[in-house]
Amino acid sequence: MMTKKPINRFLIYFVLVLFVLIFLTPAYMVVVTSFKSPDQIELSRVWELPSSWYFQSYLDAWETFAPNLKNSAMLVVPATILSAILGSLNGYVLSKWKFRGSNILFQLMLFGMFIPYQSILIPLFQFLDRVGLYGTIPGLVMVHVVYGLPITTLIFRNYYAEVPTEMIEAGKIDGAGFFKIYSKIVFPISLPGFVVVIIWQFTQIWNEFLFAVTLTSGTGNTPITVALQNLAGGRAVQWNLPMAGSIMAALPTLLVYLFLGRYFIRGLLAGSVKG
Amino acid sequence: MKKIKFPIKRDQLIAFLMLLPSLILIGLFVYGFIFQTAYSSLTDWEGVALGVKKNFIGLENYKNLFTKLLDVRFRQSLVNTLFFTVFFIAGCLSLGLLFAILLDQRIRYEGVFRLIFLYPMSLSFIVSGTVWRWLLNPKGGINLLPTLIGLQPLEIKWLTDRTQIWQFDWLILPKVFGYILLVVMILLAFRYFRSGRNWGGGIAAMIGLATLFWLISGKANQLQIMNHTEIHGFNLALLGIIIAAVWQMSGYMMAMYLAGIRGIPEELREAARVDGASEVRIYREIILPMLKPITLSAMIVLGHISLKIFDLIFVMVGPDNATTDVPGVLMFLTAFRGNQFAKGAAIAMVMLIIVAVIIVPYLVNTLRTEHEL
């Protein structure tokens, strides 16, 4: 190695630590505020630690948000599983059973992932209203499955593209058909693909707001993001409550990120359409 | 051999049938619904009452959005989006690159740093918006940070600021577009002629010449899109939202750049070192040029996020803050709070067109490179 200048090293660490502090500042603020009683929250002392730790905010926030957290869970689990299964099948077809025009169809599907959802929101709203799914969790599940198709298909298609075609060919020679090749050869090696897709969809759907606020507002079926916005958006807010609520809303995705970060990043990079 | 083979293999048919439901869903929910929105945007559809009659009124809604006095809020939202997008992308790219380069220096605890720079990505815009709204309180939060080391507090008004800088008149827009078109056509003509495609080059040159004539003949000055001047500019209230958005998304750029840098073979750098190149030169002349494709695709991803941004702004400033409006928020308010569905649809279509102009060439391009592989 070249001679390393210690000053440079010091500077690098200095800059990095500085940015770490900046990046953690919001987290510090949330935690500290959530543990203060309402009368402790004074603007002039926001940065100070609570003089006495106050846990009531969490109990209150739980009482307020438990139904919404439950709604979010009821939404995110089926939507994630369904879109992962569909994505896996689509990816399998589009990588191993290509036909004339399949690439174009794939490209047309992908476009659905980039559109501003505002451009389909009014007909979607009408459609759900007409079929009686407006304001229901199954309706929202369906919406997330459909608009999740492009990304889940993309991730699985790229994942299966790495599977050697000879493996598929060998299966065909042994007389295995479409489903048998899928269940005996492709599915058993799909676990990493499923992990990436499930984590991605879980995070996206849990955090989603536009569909949720348009399609469930004013009903009892609002997910946590809408409930949090309703509470924090009000004028005279007791800031300890939205802060505790924020932590509850953030925790599921944050935990997934902390423990399965590697797969989270893979989904992130896949989202940028690398062929 | 372009003849269809009979019988089509059974399994190939099954494969297609398995794909079909998804194709139908996308066809209906994406393309069908876009078509419906496009149609609604050409009508005068308003109100929620059942059986409201929709009358076809052509491009009236679009004309109003871009020129009618009452719809000034939409034009401000477009200008806001432009400034927001520029600063958001610039911020994410530069911070992301900085983090990636720093972390590439054989850093101890690299994983911990990475984790911290990327964690905001896992949060909902609703969560981060709530937190940042609290941090940007004019009488607390960030403004008080200097007092922790004994300095005077800042007096930035953040989200409630009403100052507007870099003002310009909306009427100059046709001319600006003229100049942009001119530059694009010149570049296009150059590229076509150089690669021997004379037809394309000729057409581009002709369009360029026509634009040039239109610009210098004074016709551009006479074009009256509205009969009043209308000042727009960069609203400083957006600054806080830009900071929050960059805080949330720059980790993504770090991950992209880091993946790119790690993909460059170590031998390449080693060889340059042996030749006596300094580390700075290695970055400037080897690594940065190789990161260009990543920068491009990241700009497209970030760009389309920022063009359709909704939740972050909605939660940070609420629905009634016209100074920080973006089309995403305005569309939601117009259609779902104001029940002006036709106008909402028109705003949505403008958003879609802007995004499509960026995304479609990109998708077509990735398709083409894939065929070459």
Please indicate, yes or no, whether residues A114 and A35 belong to a single structural domain of this protein. no
Determine contact: B139 vs chain A, CB below 8 A: yes
Q: Do A99 and B15 touch (CB under 8 A)?
A: yes
Residue A87 placed within a domain: yes
Q: Given this model, what pLDDT does residue A274 score? A: 45
Closest residue in chain A to residue B362, using alpha carbons only: A273
pLDDT at B7 over 90: no
Residue for token digits 């090696």?
A: A189
Q: Do B349 and A207 touch (CB under 8 A)?
A: no
Q: Given this model, what pLDDT does residue B2 score? A: 45
- Least trusted range by pLDDT, from A30-34, A128-132, B26-30, B167-171: B167-171
- Least trusted range by pLDDT, from A183-192, A207-216, A265-274: A265-274
- Helix residue ranges per DSSP H, A177-239: 178-181, 191-207, 210-216, 224-233
Beta carbons within 8 Å of B309's beta carbon, 6+ residues apart? B81, B84, B245, B326, B328
Could you report the per-residue pLDDT of B167-217, keeping only the tens digit for each? Answer: 888 878 878 888 888 898 888 888 888 888 888 888 888 888 888 888 887
Residue for token digits 């790119």?
A: B260
Q: Nearest to residue A85, comparing CAs of A177, A194, A204?
A: A194
3-state secondary structure at position A68? helix
- Least trusted range by pLDDT, from A208-222, B152-166, B217-231: B217-231
Structural contact between residues A34 and A244, judged by C-beta atoms closer than 8 angstroms: yes
Mean pLDDT, residues B241-254 taken together: 94
Higher pLDDT, A36 or B6: A36
Residue B206 placed within a domain: no
Q: Do B33 and A271 touch (CB under 8 A)?
A: no
Residue B225 placed within a domain: no
Q: Do B123 and A253 touch (CB under 8 A)?
A: yes
What count of other Cβ atoms lies within 10 Å of the Cβ of residue A254?
Answer: 18
- Least trusted range by pLDDT, from B121-130, B230-239, B306-315: B230-239
The C-alpha of A120 sits at a distance from chain B's nearest C-alpha, in angstroms, of: 5
pLDDT at B54 over 90: no
Could you tell me the pLDDT band of residue B371, with boundaries at 50, 70 and 90? Answer: low
Please indicate, yes or no, whether residues A84 and A120 belong to a single structural domain of this protein. yes
Q: Which residues are B169's β-sheet partners? A: B231
> Could you list the residue range(s) of the whole structural domain that residue B299 is in?
17-163+236-372
Structural contact between residues A107 and B361, judged by C-beta atoms closer than 8 angstroms: no
First to last CA, chain A: 37
Q: Do A86 and B314 touch (CB under 8 A)?
A: no
Structure tokens belonging to residue A265? 């990043």
Residue A4 placed within a domain: no
Q: Do B314 and A229 touch (CB under 8 A)?
A: yes
Q: Given this model, what pLDDT does residue A211 score? A: 96
Q: Do B352 and A214 touch (CB under 8 A)?
A: no
The C-alpha of B78 sits at a distance from chain A's nearest C-alpha, in angstroms, of: 15
Q: Given this model, what pLDDT does residue A106 score? A: 92
Could you tell me the pLDDT band of residue B84, with boundaries at 50, 70 and 90? Answer: very high
Residue A3 placed within a domain: no
Q: Cα–chain-centroid distance for residue A93?
A: 25
Alpha carbons B349 and B35: distance in angstroms, whole number:
10
Closest residue in chain B to residue A227, using alpha carbons only: B126
Please indicate, yes or no, whether residues A116 and A81 belong to a single structural domain of this protein. yes
Alpha carbons B344 and B335: distance in angstroms, whole number:
5
Could you report the per-residue pLDDT of B279-327, keeping only the tens digit for each? Answer: 888 888 888 988 988 898 889 889 989 998 999 999 998 777 778 899 9
Structural contact between residues B283 and B58, judged by C-beta atoms closer than 8 angstroms: no
Please indicate, yes or no, whether residues A134 and A184 belong to a single structural domain of this protein. yes
Share of chain B above pLDDT 70, in %: 92
The C-alpha of A73 sits at a distance from chain B's nearest C-alpha, in angstroms, of: 15
pTM of the model: 0.89
Residue A5 placed within a domain: no
Residue B231 placed within a domain: no
Q: Do B22 and A44 touch (CB under 8 A)?
A: no
Mean pLDDT, residues A205-226 taken together: 93
Could you tell me the pLDDT band of residue B50, with boundaries at 50, 70 and 90? Answer: low
Could you report the per-residue pLDDT of A122-137, keeping only the tens digit for each? Answer: 999 999 999 999 999 9
Please indicate, yes or no, whether residues A41 and A85 belong to a single structural domain of this protein. no
Interface test with A, best of B102, B122, B246, B262 (most A CBs within 10 A): B122
Could you report the per-residue pLDDT of A196-214, keeping only the tens digit for each? Answer: 999 999 999 999 999 999 9
**Residue B297: which of A249, A258, A273 has the nearest Cβ?**
A273
CATH number for B146: 1.10.3720.10
Chain-wide mean pLDDT for chain A? Answer: 88
Q: Given this model, what pLDDT does residue B127 score? A: 94
**Residue B29: which of A26, A120, A233 has the nearest Cβ?**
A120
Domain total of chain A: 2
Q: Given this model, what pLDDT does residue B3 score? A: 44
Could you tell me the pLDDT band of residue B1, with boundaries at 50, 70 and 90? Answer: very low
Please indicate, yes or no, whether residues A124 and A260 belong to a single structural domain of this protein. yes
Please list every residue in chain A whose beta carbon sits closer than 8 Å to the beta carbon of residue B15.
93, 97, 99, 178
Q: Do A209 and B133 touch (CB under 8 A)?
A: no
pLDDT at A247 over 80: yes
Q: Nearest to residue B181, comparing CAs of B202, B200, B206, B199?
A: B206
pLDDT at B5 over 70: no
3-state secondary structure at position B168? strand
Please list every residue in chain A whose beta carbon sits closer than 8 Å to the beta carbon of residue B364.
107
Distances B24 to A72, A149, B338 between C-alpha atoms, Å:
27, 12, 32
Q: Do B30 and A111 touch (CB under 8 A)?
A: yes
Mean pLDDT, residues A244-259 taken together: 92
CATH number for A74: 1.10.3720.10
Crossing angle of helices B33-40/A118-130, nearest 10°?
100
pLDDT at B60 over 90: no
The letter for the amino acid at A92 is Y
Structural contact between residues B314 and B332, judged by C-beta atoms closer than 8 angstroms: yes
Residue B216 placed within a domain: no
Q: Do B15 and A93 touch (CB under 8 A)?
A: yes
Alpha carbons A57 and A35: distance in angstroms, whole number:
7
The letter for the amino acid at B34 is I
Please indicate, yes or no, whether residues A137 and A191 belong to a single structural domain of this protein. yes
**Residue A119: which of B137, B140, B351 has the nearest Cβ?**
B351
Please indicate, yes or no, whether residues A33 and A127 belong to a single structural domain of this protein. no
CA angle B238, A117, B173 (to 5 degrees): 50
Determine contact: B225 vs chain A, CB below 8 A: no
Residue B204 placed within a domain: no
Q: Given this model, what pLDDT does residue A271 score? A: 64
Residue B215 placed within a domain: no
Domain total of chain B: 1
Residue A165 placed within a domain: yes
Residue B229 placed within a domain: no
Please list every residue in chain B whose beta carbon sits closer than 8 Å to the beta carbon of residue A103.
367, 370-371
pLDDT at A77 over 70: yes
**Residue A47: which of B148, B347, B356 has the nearest Cβ?**
B148
- Helix residue ranges per DSSP H, chain A: 6-34, 56-96, 102-114, 118-130, 137-161, 165-173, 178-181, 191-207, 210-216, 224-233, 240-270
Q: Do B123 and A254 touch (CB under 8 A)?
A: yes
The C-alpha of A254 sits at a distance from chain B's nearest C-alpha, in angstroms, of: 6
Beta carbons within 8 Å of B334's beta carbon, 6+ residues apart? B340, B343, B344, B347
pLDDT at A61 over 70: yes
Dihedral sign for Cα atoms in the order B21, A101, A124, B319: positive
- Least trusted range by pLDDT, from A69-73, A145-149, B363-367: B363-367
Residue A194 placed within a domain: yes
Structural contact between residues B282 and B269, judged by C-beta atoms closer than 8 angstroms: yes
Q: Do A123 and B32 touch (CB under 8 A)?
A: yes
pLDDT at B346 over 50: yes
A·B CB contacts under 8 A: 271
pLDDT at B344 over 90: yes
> Could you list the residue range(s) of the whole structural domain that residue A227 is in?
58-270
CA angle B317, B308, B63 (to 5 degrees): 95
Please indicate, yes or no, whether residues A117 and A47 belong to a single structural domain of this protein. no
Please indicate, yes or no, whether residues A39 and A71 belong to a single structural domain of this protein. no
Q: Given this model, what pLDDT does residue B147 score? A: 83
Q: Given this model, what pLDDT does residue B4 score? A: 45
Alpha carbons B328 and A123: distance in angstroms, whole number:
16
Please indicate, yes or no, whether residues A214 and A229 belong to a single structural domain of this protein. yes
Q: Given this model, what pLDDT does residue B314 score? A: 92
Please list every residue in chain B whose beta carbon sits closer than 8 Å to the beta carbon of residue A85.
none
Structural contact between residues A95 and A160, judged by C-beta atoms closer than 8 angstroms: yes
3-state secondary structure at position B47? coil
Residue A10 placed within a domain: no
Alpha carbons B83 and B370: distance in angstroms, whole number:
34
Closest residue in chain A to residue B319, using alpha carbons only: A233
**Residue A103: which of B314, B327, B367 has the nearest Cβ?**
B367
Chain-wide mean pLDDT for chain B? Answer: 86
Please list every residue in chain A whose beta carbon sits closer than 8 Å to the beta carbon of residue B363.
107, 110-111, 114, 273
Q: Do B348 and A99 touch (CB under 8 A)?
A: no
Closest residue in chain B to residue A205, using alpha carbons only: B124
B residues 230-259 near A, CB within 8 Å? 247, 252, 255-256, 259
Complex prediction ipTM: 0.89
Please indicate, yes or no, whether residues A33 and A95 belong to a single structural domain of this protein. no
Q: Helix, strand, coil proportions of chain B in percent (round to 5)? A: 75, 5, 25
**Residue A177: which of B11, B133, B332 has the nearest Cβ?**
B11
Q: Given this model, what pLDDT does residue B41 score? A: 92
Alpha carbons A151 and A83: distance in angstroms, whole number:
9
